[in-house]
Amino acid sequence: DVDREDLKGWKPLGASKSAGSEQEFPKLLQEDSSDDEGTQSQTDEGESADGADEFKVYHQQDHHTYLFSTLKTFRESSILTDLTLKTEGGRSFHVHSPVLAAVSSLIWTHLKKKGEENKLSGSVGVQPWSVCLGPEVDPVGLEAILEFAYTGLLSSVNRHDVQRIRAAAESLGTLRVWQLCVNDEDPLSKRNEDEQIFAAEQME
């Protein structure tokens, strides 16, 4: 289990590159979703030089929607959830670590380390594990992070919740959620200042 004492000195992954394990966090996970123009349904036909049969490529455009809808159902039913997130207040959230690692650099780092440890020990299969979060992460903020991870949405967010979600995003290293909160609560000048501070912290 990962105790919050192990998280002291942790800084969420910012807009700039940093050294160590954070640098290995896939760049693709920091960027916005790719343009739909590159994912339009298409059927390609072709014929090889030796006259082989034609081939076709089929693409279901809404595949990701069904996939994440199913993963959300799995989470709600505690099916194959391997990671338990614990808040200081005693709340526990059961999630799929790969789903959360796709948006959180903190979980990505721990998951990568856990994978290396399992490889050395010869462990196979799903190994339950947990992370204890600090007091800055309350259930409201954490639930918003999980909603974003499983759906890409932040629904029913009011002004009071933005601060709590932002704090959770900073702790978990969820850059995209953090940016959404900054864009919502700060004017442009203040937002630019915050982003510069956020990035500078990664260089320390």
In a domain, 157, yes or no: yes
In a domain, 1, yes or no: no
In a domain, 32, yes or no: no
Q: Which residue has the higher pLDDT, 77 or 20?
A: 77
Q: Structurally, how many domains does the chain consist of?
A: 1
Query: What is the spatial distance between Cα 64 and Cα 101, in angstroms, rounded to a whole number?
Result: 17
Dump pLDDT digits (tens) for 101-158.
Answer: 999 999 999 999 999 998 898 888 888 999 999 999 999 999 999 999 999 999 878 8
Distances from the Cα of 154 to the Cα of 55, 82, 90, 184, angstroms: 41, 24, 24, 12
Query: What is the spatial distance between Cα 70 and Cα 98, in angstroms, rounded to a whole number?
Result: 14
In a domain, 169, yes or no: yes
In a domain, 197, yes or no: yes
Between 10-24, 44-58, 156-170, the lowest mean confidence (pLDDT) is in 10-24
Query: What is the spatial distance between Cα 109 and Cα 122, in angstroms, rounded to a whole number?
Result: 20
By residue range, what is the domain housing residue 115?
Answer: 60-202
Share of the chain above pLDDT 70, in %: 65
pLDDT over threshold 50, residue 175: yes
CATH of the domain at 127: 3.30.710.10
In a domain, 23, yes or no: no
